[in-house]
Amino acid sequence: PPVIRLADYRPSDYLIDRVDLDVRLHPTETRITATLALRPNPAGEAGAPLVLDGDDLTLLAVALDGQPTAPGAIETGPRGLTLHQPPGRPFVLSLETQVNPSANTKLMGLYRSNGVYCTQCEADGFRRITYFLDRPDVLAVYTTRIEADRTEAPVLLGNGNPVESGAAGADRHYAVWHDPHPKPAYLFALVGGRLGRIGSSFTTMEGRAVEVAVYVEPGKEDRAPYALDAVRRAMAWDERAFGRAYDLDVFNVVAVSDFNMGAMENKGLNIFNDKYVLASPDTATDTDYANIEAIIAHEYFHNWSGNRVTCRDWFQLCLKEGLTVFRDQEFSSDERSRPVHRIAEVRTLRARQFPEDAGPLAHPVRPQAYREINNFYTATVYEKGAEIVRMLRTLLGPETFRAGMDLFFARCDGTAATVEDFLAAFAQVSGRDLTAFARWYAQAGTPVVSVSGRHDPLARTYTLDFHQSLPVVATEASAGAEPQPLVIPVALGLVAPGGGAVAARSEQVRDGVFVLEQESGRVVYTDVAEAPVPSLFRGFSAPVKLAHALDAGQRLTLLARDSDPFNRWQAAQGLALDVLTARARAGAPLEDEAGADGAALAEALGSFLDAEAVADPAFAALVLTIPGDQEVAQEIGANVDPDAIHRARRTLRRHLGRALAPRLVALRERLADPTEAPFSPDAASAGRRALRNAALDLVAAADPETGTRLAEAQCAGATNMTDRLAALATLALLPGEARERALQAFAQTYRAEPLVLDKWFSLQAMIPEAGTVERVRGLMRHEGFSLGNPNRVRSLVGSFSLNNPTQFHREDGAGYDLVAETVLALDARNPQVAARLLTAFSTWRMVEAKRRARAEAALRAIAASPGLSPDVGDIVGRSLA
């Protein structure tokens, strides 16, 4: 596909003020009549032809101002429709198109999921419904009439508010919806089908009564209350935290089972992957509950950050996604535990975004060029984008940040905005020049900040010297220019070696934050009697890698004594990472013992558990969890041997399990839920389950026999899916009959529950054993598996490629071949999901030479395949560049 550049943006030559749609739903021949009120854009080129986007449409009729168009006036091609000489005044174009929702396997535009008609229009799906100016800076007011067979689709939903409904002949009926808020086409949606509903009402701070409803597959209504409650909590939170109230009379959420991503924020009609709506104690884990809450909130928050203020062009995607991720993270932090949530956010960033930023798919948070926009819904745009907003708040302080948000919303309401508009609001309220800060949006790659500390006992000073190094990233999506220093907020403090904060002062530190603005910077603390331990980047105040040579003793001090929970956790991670990288680099023979560092870590964790595990089990579970394979691989950087990392992790887990076993067993008993207590997904209960299951994992790593016994009992007796799945995950790592028995029993119990079977697929795909490739191939033939359903593909093949490094990176290339074959098989059907699956290869240059050659061969075979979609073509091209 051709490259599209931010520098080439120009406004549309025409605008569309109103859209009237008449959609007659039919399984194979849906007809859409679109009446578009157009006018020349004063900012565009006068007299230019009108070029409407279109994809896979059959055009049945066209009229201009109510009259048939003259022969030759209109031309259609595979990419759209051209009206050669449009009037130089406002005019009305009517288009009748026909589409086949049942044949739509791309799940973009109008399609059917389990018989339910639904739409997905972001980024460019509306052009698969009618010809249109399918770009986010063309905002129109929509009225939609939906007509369908009454039995096939008793529920008819659209954007905005319901206007009227009634019969349309004997078997059919209709509903009209009107959305008064101008919106881009990507926010259009409709739904028609047999659906169960639960609802409640919410009164906004402005006094508007809103009917809130969640629609699900009939019979699953009892799994929807958690999502419904999450909507209400999100509405209340956005009023409290950002002063944003809802602006329609209804807010509908619909769950469908075939969906390319997590959910979609269509105005007033959010459509969800059912994985992020349906929850019951027996089918959903604590992680599922937390994800549902976060994604429901995320899509709801888009109502302001994305819908009322949308993006001028797709380069500005981070303006809505990064900002909305930041908002949903804040919501979850307020609803749950802030430190625990922050750690989870950073783990995701390090596991997904850091590798992306270090590989061939690296791009700035605001890319400068793209070929296929659907490939830019990335960890960088979302998670690093959220980190930028967080840094802005750290730099400006919460009050000024809020004033900036208020100004941004007020000034940009009803417009399609840019990152510059966003930053201008903060520059205005703070009086600060944010030009240098804006580089975070333009420069790809993860900065490394190195720090060295020096104590001068005579002068009683402690000096910290900072230096930032920025990678040069030369990919198509980034400028490739010499990077300029970033503005890096460093939240920091000093910890006395014996514990407690050091009451030292520094002129360079304000409100606990030093701002590194140049390549190098220095902080001098005065009145420091004793050499302290610096606690740097508290709360992970910037998305950087910290190179700071803390010794094990200093890390142990931070783990035990830092007032910042994030850095306590970080200290334990650092200790473990040192052990893991040293062992993995040395080849990590399995019979190795953990050594002195491992023993020190075990001892520190023991003291930590004794002192604090019961008070904050969720935090303790995180402290007990050693860094994942991906993080160790990142730390090693080049010539990575995934098997050696895996052995190093196994050895350390075994060692920790042995050293901590009596405590872990006691903790498991102490934290058990009373059997009569009803299940609750709240954060405190989930934290207890997390710690019990982290303990089980370590016990089993140390003593497979005990582990098997405990896990089998837990699997059979669990009263909720979190405990059952955790036990099954423990068994999955222990080869033998017990595992196969437990897997079979689980599949039998949940054979009619696709979302639970996904967990079963996923667990098996993650087994780090040589037989897993064959197992996955076998599971692809399982009756519950289908290449047509993105959740199934992600849970089986996606889990394999992302979460099973030893088998995906098998030395003989069998893991790469499996994923490559699946990508090709999927590409013809659903290119978006195929392309996303292929991104698992993006770390291929990091692995050692033999594997690297196999990975490259698999990528080259994909690249050479005929008829590749633009989506897969783009990813494979960039991966090999």
Query: Taking Cα atoms as reference points, which of 320, 143, 377, 159 lies closest to residue 254?
Result: 159
Least distance in angstroms from the C-beta of 796 to ligand HT7: 20
Characterize the bridge pairing of strands 269-273 and 250-256.
Answer: parallel
Query: Taking Cα atoms as reference points, which of 389, 366, 313 lies closest to residue 478?
Result: 366
- For Zn ion, the closer CB: 324 or 869: 324
- For ligand HT7, the closer CB: 324 or 806: 324
HSE of 791, CA atoms in CB hemisphere, 13 A: 21
- For ligand HT7, the closer CB: 268 or 483: 268
Mask: binding to Zn ion, 299-338, rule CB under 5 A, as x and -? ----------------------x--x--------------
- For Zn ion, the closer CB: 126 or 761: 126
Least distance in angstroms from the C-beta of 799 to ligand HT7: 20
DSSP-derived 3-state class of residue 366: coil
- For Zn ion, the closer CB: 270 or 475: 270
Counting beta carbons within 10 angstroms of the beta carbon of residue 187, is it exposed (0 to 12), middle (13 to 18) or buried (19 or more)? buried
DSSP-derived 3-state class of residue 305: strand
Q: Which of residues 86-125 bind ligand HT7 (CB under 6 A)?
A: 120, 122-123
Q: How far is residue 808's CA from residue 817's CA, in Å, rounded to a whole number?
A: 9
Choosing among Zn ion, ligand HT7, none, which partner's interface includes residue 862 (Cβ < 5 to 8 Å by kind)?
none
Q: Is 769 a catalytic residue?
A: no
Q: How far is residue 744's CA from residue 740's CA, in Å, rounded to a whole number?
A: 6
Binding of ligand HT7 by 791 (CB under 6 A): no
Q: How far is residue 73's CA from residue 86's CA, in Å, rounded to a whole number?
A: 9
Binding of ligand HT7 by 377 (CB under 6 A): yes
Listing DSSP states for 609-625 in one string gives HHHHTTT-HHHHHHHHS
Supply the DSSP symbol for 350.
I
Give alpha helix (H) positions in 489-640.
Answer: 552-561, 565-585, 595-612, 617-624, 629-636
Sign of CA pseudo-dihedral 634, 640, 646, 647 = negative
- For ligand HT7, the closer CB: 388 or 820: 388
Choosing among Zn ion, ligand HT7, none, which partner's interface includes residue 679 (Cβ < 5 to 8 Å by kind)?
none
Least distance in angstroms from the C-beta of 123 to ligand HT7: 6
Report whether 736 contacts 719 (CB < 8 A). no
Least distance in angstroms from the C-beta of 478 to Zn ion: 23
Q: What tokens does 591 get? A: 């019979």
Q: How far is residue 244's CA from residue 128's CA, in Å, rounded to a whole number?
A: 33
Least distance in angstroms from the C-beta of 164 to ligand HT7: 30
Q: Which of residues 302-361 bind ligand HT7 (CB under 6 A)?
A: 302, 321
Binding of ligand HT7 by 838 (CB under 6 A): no
Choosing among ligand HT7, Zn ion, none, which partner's interface includes residue 264 (Cβ < 5 to 8 Å by kind)?
ligand HT7
Choosing among ligand HT7, Zn ion, none, which partner's interface includes residue 227 (Cβ < 5 to 8 Å by kind)?
none
- For Zn ion, the closer CB: 286 or 321: 321
Q: How far is residue 846's CA from residue 840's CA, in Å, rounded to a whole number?
A: 12
Binding of ligand HT7 by 299 (CB under 6 A): yes
Q: How far is residue 250's CA from residue 213's CA, in Å, rounded to a whole number?
A: 8
Q: Which of residues 119-138 bind ligand HT7 (CB under 6 A)?
A: 120, 122-123
DSSP-derived 3-state class of residue 506: strand
Choosing among ligand HT7, Zn ion, none, which partner's interface includes residue 377 (Cβ < 5 to 8 Å by kind)?
ligand HT7
Binding of ligand HT7 by 298 (CB under 6 A): yes
Least distance in angstroms from the C-beta of 117 to ligand HT7: 16
Catalytic-labelled residue, pool 122, 147, 265, 299? 299
Least distance in angstroms from the C-beta of 321 to Zn ion: 5
- For ligand HT7, the closer CB: 260 or 842: 260
Residues constituting the chain: 881
In sequence order, the β-bridge partners of residue 488 are: 516
Q: What tokens does 498 get? A: 């014996």
Least distance in angstroms from the C-beta of 838 to Zn ion: 22
Least distance in angstroms from the C-beta of 664 to ligand HT7: 39
Query: Taking Cα atoms as reference points, which of 605, 566, 586, 694 lies closest to residue 645?
Result: 586
Choosing among ligand HT7, Zn ion, none, which partner's interface includes residue 570 (Cβ < 5 to 8 Å by kind)?
none
Report whether 324 contacts 301 (CB < 8 A). yes
Choosing among ligand HT7, Zn ion, none, which partner's interface includes residue 568 (Cβ < 5 to 8 Å by kind)?
none
Supply the DSSP symbol for 381.
I
Binding piece for ligand HT7, criterion CB under 6 A, among 295-303, 649-657, 793-801, 865-873 = 295-303
- For ligand HT7, the closer CB: 260 or 789: 260
Query: Taking Cα atoms as reference points, which of 539, 655, 639, 495 lies closest to residue 590?
Result: 655
Q: Which of residues 246-275 bind ligand HT7 (CB under 6 A)?
A: 260-261, 263-265
> Catalytic residue positions?
299
Residues that bind ligand HT7 (CB under 6 A): 120, 122-123, 260-261, 263-265, 298-299, 302, 321, 377
Residues that bind Zn ion (CB under 5 A): 321, 324
